[in-house]
Structure 1
Amino acid sequence: MEQVDVAVIGGGQSGLAAAHALRRQGLQPVVLEASEQAAGSWPRYYDSLTLFSPARYSSLPGLPFGGDPDRYPHRDEVIAYLLRCADRLNAEIRTRARVREVRLEGGAFRLGLEGGGRLAARAVIAATGTFGCPHRPDLPGLETYTGTLLHAADHRTSEPFAGQRVVVVGAGNSAVQIATELAGRARATVATRHPVRFARQRTLGRDLHWWLARTGLDALPAGRFHSTPPTQPVIDNGRYRTAVTSGQPDRRPVFTGIDGAKVTWADGTTEEVDAIVLATGYRPDLGYLTPLGALDSTGHPRHREGMSLTHPGLAYVGLEWQRSLSSNSLRGVGRDAARAARHLAAHLARA
């Protein structure tokens, strides 16, 4: 069986940052990416997605984003940037290498790949993010809905919904962006449990991320938030608040029931809805670690700031709120990757 130093599972932004950090520690990582290119989930995001962080705050360690540092890059720019990072990375990247399971045998991690391939690693970094595990909440009557039901992970463009009645469930950036885009072609509502919160994209001529970096809030440890980390607001240059305020889309409390294609709203009114889009977030995509016993009953990893509490040779990069507000973002993943690499290098030196 092939032996490797460190297996990095996932070749998107988290995996590339992890491999870069491991190389700086003198280790030889092998990156295992399930898709055909080292761009992670970005090629599968909806067509109109635009970053709400400027290019200057959207780079991985070792390679600036390039171009106008104050622009807000489009999805396709991010894909091209990640591919440049992969090309310049001094590490082996294997595409179409989906990891099905990880086990511990004889003191080493044994990775089983789709198609039957196997390899052994002294250490593992799980960097598969969340996109492969969309969260579908238990909403009243949703299981009986007879219209078109999809998660934001499956949404690409508003064109198929032209002239339809569409409800987008969720209060985050993706929900409001998708609902606003749909409102240009359809009658769209964004349905939320609480009013949508907006944060100004620019204050006193500076982007929000300049302020986050200057104040240190961007890297503030998640533990400073005494309970569940706060829900992040919609980053807005004025467009989205104006759209929602003008009813394009309108905002309503989440429906209280569904009968066939009819939705019942909180005020008791009902109407037929052609499609429901769940922009309700994601959960860690780590099912391949189940054989290790590294996950809790909800599928979340047992870890402290990215370091496994069950296996000293296992670490994570790219988890939401892994260590800070920016842990699962382009701008912040490098900090966590460097810490994980130092931890694994020290562990392997002692082994």
Structure 2
Amino acid sequence: MTRRTDVVVVGGGQSGLAAGYHLRRLGIDHVILDARTAPGGAWQHTWDSLRLFSPAEHSSLPGRRMPVQPGQTYPDAQHVVDYLTDYEKRYELPVQRGARVSAVHRDGAFLRVETDGGDWQARAVVSATGTWNRPFLPAVPGRREYTGRRLHTVQYQAPAEFSGQRVVVVGGGNSGAQIAADLAHAGIDLVWVTQRPPRYLADDIDGRALFDVATARRRALDAGRADTGGVASLGDIVAVPPVRTARDAGLLNPKPMFSRLTPTGVAWADGTTAEADAVIWCTGFRPALAPFSALRLRGTRGHIATVGTRAVDEPRLHLLGYGDWTGPASATLIGVGRPARDAAREISALLSP
């Protein structure tokens, strides 16, 4: 049996909920299909010590401010899960859990969305699948010979599992710095390696300022002015308190990127080596767009060409939450609201007779 609705939103994390909020406000019939069995998106799977970059009041989805977490300036991941759970209930968003989308096809006037529980026909689709399910692991020489544990950010939970071990953390972004600081505070034998010397943002800069900078860059580009460089011009690492404390205590001493893995560790081009029981790769993600492959829209770097959030070659498809290419800071809680609103308005115009 094929069901029909005006809009199918694929993904029930923060981007999918923001889309649902604006579609609901416009009175557009829609369903939100989420492969996870519980609310909270990827936030329910992060490491134990993760903190937001911004205070709660600057980490909110449209229509509902995130409440302050008692005793915390920067809320933890569980607080975000609780907030998203409440948000979904408050606005009675039509989320169907455990609904895994396998493919999206053109079907005449509709897009057909295949799931493990049957098909949907929709006049428009919003892709809000995020990146968490597509961790990126670089092809480093020696990776097949290395006998220790190889983990990505998505598999890291807490320092306790590495007690008494030697750990290499790879990555000079926020995840790499936060996980390295987490391990360093716990006294783990740590080597932190980065592609280039870490660039910390000024200590008084948080996610709200980053959103403003990203928005200013997008406005400049849209107006044909010179590229301001955006967030990348400020640095790579937000100095949240645990990172700042570890840095100032001399616990974070980054080394340049090694040239290869050995059976028991890592080695640099100058012959220096380090033993490692585990290597944690904080090397980022790719957009999780496999369900849309049948539409043949993907271009360079796995991206789909967009104007705003709308796919250039399939105007019935909008993409939310993948980064600046789908809206300034759109992969953040505070940043996804505006592109979600714009997508809902464009969809409303598309559906109008």
SS of aligned partner of 1:315: strand
Deviation at 1:136, TM superposition (A): 0.9
SS of aligned partner of 2:41: coil
SS of aligned partner of 1:250: coil
- Could you report, residue by residue, the CA deviation over 1:261-313 in whole angstroms, capped at 9, with x for unpaired residues? 23112442123211000001111011000011122264322222211011111
Question: What is the 5 A alignment of 1:257-268?
Answer: 257-268=260-271
- Could you report, residue by residue, the CA deviation over 1:42-63 in whole angstroms, capped at 9, with x for unpaired residues? 1111111110111011010111
Residue of structure 1 equivalent to 2:88: 86
2:216 to 214, 220, 241: 220
Structure 2: runs of 5+ lacking an equivalent: none
Question: What is the 5 A alignment of 1:1-351?
Answer: 1-67=2-68, 71-114=73-116, 116-183=117-184, 184-202=186-204, 208-209=206-207, 211=209, 216-222=212-218, 223=221, 225=227, 230=232, 232-237=235-240, 239-241=242-244, 243-244=246-247, 246-296=249-299, 298-350=301-353
**How many angstroms apart in 2 are the aligned matches of 1:221 and 1:285?**
25
- Could you report, residue by residue, the CA deviation over 1:198-231 in whole angstroms, capped at 9, with x for unpaired residues? 11342xxxx5445456xx4242244464889737
1:196/1:316 Cα in 2 relative to 1: closer, same or farther (>3 Å)? same
SS of aligned partner of 2:254: strand
Deviation at 1:321, TM superposition (A): 1.0
**How many angstroms apart in 2 are the aligned matches of 1:200 and 1:324?**
24
1:26/1:314 Cα in 2 relative to 1: closer, same or farther (>3 Å)? same
- Could you report, residue by residue, the CA deviation over 1:54-95 in whole angstroms, capped at 9, with x for unpaired residues? 101101011111136982111000000000001012331100
**How many angstroms apart in 1 are the aligned matches of 2:157 and 2:207?**
27
Contact 2:19 2:344 in 1 (8 A): yes
**Stretch of structure 1 that moved more, 144-153 or 5-14:** 144-153
**Which one-letter code corresponds to 1:122 in the other structure?**
R
1:126/1:137 Cα in 2 relative to 1: closer, same or farther (>3 Å)? same
- Could you report, residue by residue, the CA deviation over 1:299-331 in whole angstroms, capped at 9, with x for unpaired residues? 322222211011111101101113554211001
**How many angstroms apart in 1 are the aligned matches of 2:19 and 2:320?**
7
What RMSD in Å do the two structures reach over aligned CA positions?
A: 2.2
Alignment TM-score, normalising by the size of structure 1 = 0.91
Contact 2:53 2:240 in 1 (8 A): no
**How many angstroms apart in 2 are the aligned matches of 1:78 and 1:18?**
18
1:67/1:294 Cα in 2 relative to 1: closer, same or farther (>3 Å)? same
**How many angstroms apart in 2 are the aligned matches of 1:97 and 1:75?**
24
1:272/1:212 Cα in 2 relative to 1: closer, same or farther (>3 Å)? closer
1:156/1:92 Cα in 2 relative to 1: closer, same or farther (>3 Å)? same
Deviation at 1:38, TM superposition (A): 2.5
SS of aligned partner of 1:312: strand
- In the comparison of the two structures, how many residue pairs are matched? 343
1:209/1:254 Cα in 2 relative to 1: closer, same or farther (>3 Å)? closer
Alignment TM-score, normalising by the size of structure 2 = 0.90
Structure 1: runs of 5+ lacking an equivalent: none
1:97/1:210 Cα in 2 relative to 1: closer, same or farther (>3 Å)? closer
Contact 1:23 1:90 in 2 (8 A): no
SS of aligned partner of 1:294: coil
1:211/1:112 Cα in 2 relative to 1: closer, same or farther (>3 Å)? closer
**Which one-letter code corresponds to 1:142 in the other structure?**
R
**How many angstroms apart in 2 are the aligned matches of 1:66 and 1:262?**
44
Deviation at 1:140, TM superposition (A): 2.8
Contact 1:322 1:328 in 2 (8 A): no
**How many angstroms apart in 2 are the aligned matches of 1:71 and 1:238?**
10
Contact 2:181 2:242 in 1 (8 A): no
SS of aligned partner of 1:2: strand
Deviation at 1:14, TM superposition (A): 0.2
**How many angstroms apart in 2 are the aligned matches of 1:164 and 1:103?**
48
Identical columns (%): 37
**How many angstroms apart in 1 are the aligned matches of 2:28 and 2:194?**
46
**Which one-letter code corresponds to 2:39 in the other structure?**
A
**Which one-letter code corresponds to 1:98 in the other structure?**
R
